[in-house]
Amino acid sequence: MGKKKKIKKLREQVKALEAELASATTHTHDVAPLAPKGGFPDMPVIEGVRFAAVQAGVRYKGRYDVMLALCDPGTSIAGVFTRSATRSANVLDCQEKLGSDPSGGAAIIVNSGNSNAFTGRHGEGSVKAICEAVAKITGVPENRVFTSSTGVIGERLPHDRITAKLDALKDALDPGALDLAARAIMTTDTFPKGAVAEVEIGGKTVKIAGIAKGSGMIAPDMATMLVYIFTDAKIAQPDLQSMLGELTNVTFNNITVDSDTSTSDTLLLAATGASGVEVTAKTDAFRTALHDVMLNLAHQVVRDGEGATKFVEVRVTGAASDADARTHALAIANSPLIKTAVAGEDPNWGRVVMAIGKSGAAADRDLITIRFGDILVAEKGWVSPDYREEQGAAYMKNEELVISVDLGLGDGEAVVWTCDLTHGYIQINADYRS
């Protein structure tokens, strides 16, 4: 057999095997290799909020797909959302409601299976119908009902399937059901995501518990990230909102799987006040604990990145400003050439130079220092004289990698987290939808 024929035959075999593999894995949801080793954490009870989940059959039968969180009167709600210009009706509605009077409590209702995105005026109607029904059944004012939807886009949300289950949801409310809620918001996530923290403030304990979903992708939608965090701290909404915004900039805004942004990304943070511990935007202990929970959840989203086999931290220091540092870090983290090199365990530092050069932020070739882990790879505009390719190659075999760049220009710094770009990503996203 000639070489060309052999290659053609091999290609056909690969293609056939890939198809077989795809069909074998479609509904198995193998847990991602980077999933936290300890599994889902034990969730503490957060006084002042109860949870429930039901099987409403929004799209698929036989799985939990709607969750409700009911917060006591006085609960502050802060939120951050996708900046997408085509954001969903749910996101627009949530944004309007932030800061409304907390005296009547609050409800958060989330469905998976249908994202209610790009469904025209119908989408707004569905949000309205759900909020009205939740308000009626729970007694929470309509302007304190927050909704999220994730799943298939461009299809009308069958919101009656959700409202039909509200009685069942109300009956099932339980302070200990946050783990069930974490499962109900999953789409193609391969594992439920939760994180917890406790912090002593003035001799009393404040608790924080959060859940997240992302960044799976299922026929035919886009990777939506949803995050809900609850605490029994007592904190005014403006303080909660400002703290959330700041911490989002160093956690969820610094992760990237594939540089694409969902129309539905939502993070809601509810503070019930039930612990009686008063907190402000300046309470460092609380801020640190909240930061830890947010960063933990953000990392779990990257660890469940489509096809991911490596978790990568990109550290940039010595930039002209923090903004420049972030621009460089994201250019490195989003570069397909770097992400494929990581997948191939190739210590290809030249691609890091390339990404720095293209980012648009200030850089001086001859001042750049690049490290893989602790290994000095390049400095003074060239490969380090002590660097040996074998060192880099051995380092790249690790499951968790740190790529560090110092620009030598100033004090700006940033850290970004990402994963590699593998055949698994192509397979998941090139599969036909139906």
Residue 251: active-site member: no
**Residue 285 or 426 with smaller CB distance to a copy of itself:** 426
Q: Does 47 bind a copy of itself (CB under 8 A)?
A: no
**Residue 31 or 285 with smaller CB distance to a copy of itself:** 31
Q: By CB under 8 A, what part of segment 66-125 binds a copy of itself?
A: 82-87, 117-122
Contact 79, 228 (CB under 8 A): no
Please give the backbone phi and psi of residue 312, each rounded to the nearest 5 degrees, phi first.
Answer: -120, 125
CB 293, min distance to a copy of itself, A = 26
DSSP element (H, E) containing 340: helix 336-343
CB 155, min distance to a copy of itself, A = 8
Contacts of 167 by beta carbon, 8 Å cutoff, 6+ apart: 137
CB 352, min distance to a copy of itself, A = 10
**Residue 86 or 288 with smaller CB distance to a copy of itself:** 86
Q: Where are the beta strands (DSSP E) in 215-263?
A: 226-231, 255-256
CB 351, min distance to a copy of itself, A = 6
Residues facing residue 112 across a β-bridge: 150
Nearest to 105 by CA among 142, 67, 79: 142
Burial of 62 (0-12, 13-18, 19+ CB in 10 A): exposed
Q: By CB under 8 A, what part of segment 232-261 binds a copy of itself?
A: 258-261
Q: By CB under 8 A, what part of segment 314-353 binds a copy of itself?
A: 334-337, 340-341, 343-346, 348-351, 353
Candidate residues 173, 250, 281, 362; the one interacting with a copy of itself per rule CB under 8 A: 362
Tokens of 270: 């509810």
Which of 188, 224, 309, 422 is catalytic? The answer is 224
**Residue 15 or 204 with smaller CB distance to a copy of itself:** 15
Q: Where are the beta strands (DSSP E) in 232-374?
A: 255-256, 266-271, 311-319, 369-372
Contact 414, 320 (CB under 8 A): no
How many residues form the binding site for a copy of itself (CB under 8 A)? 89
What 3-state DSSP class applies to 216? coil
Contact 48, 75 (CB under 8 A): yes
State how far the Cα of 206 lies from the Cα of 283, in Å rounded to an integer.
Answer: 12
Q: Does 378 bind a copy of itself (CB under 8 A)?
A: yes
Q: By CB under 8 A, what part of segment 206-225 binds a copy of itself?
A: 217, 220-223
**Residue 121 or 282 with smaller CB distance to a copy of itself:** 121
**Interaction pattern, residues 268-307, with a copy of itself; x per rule: CB under 8 A:** ----------------------------------------
Question: Which positions are catalytic?
Answer: 224
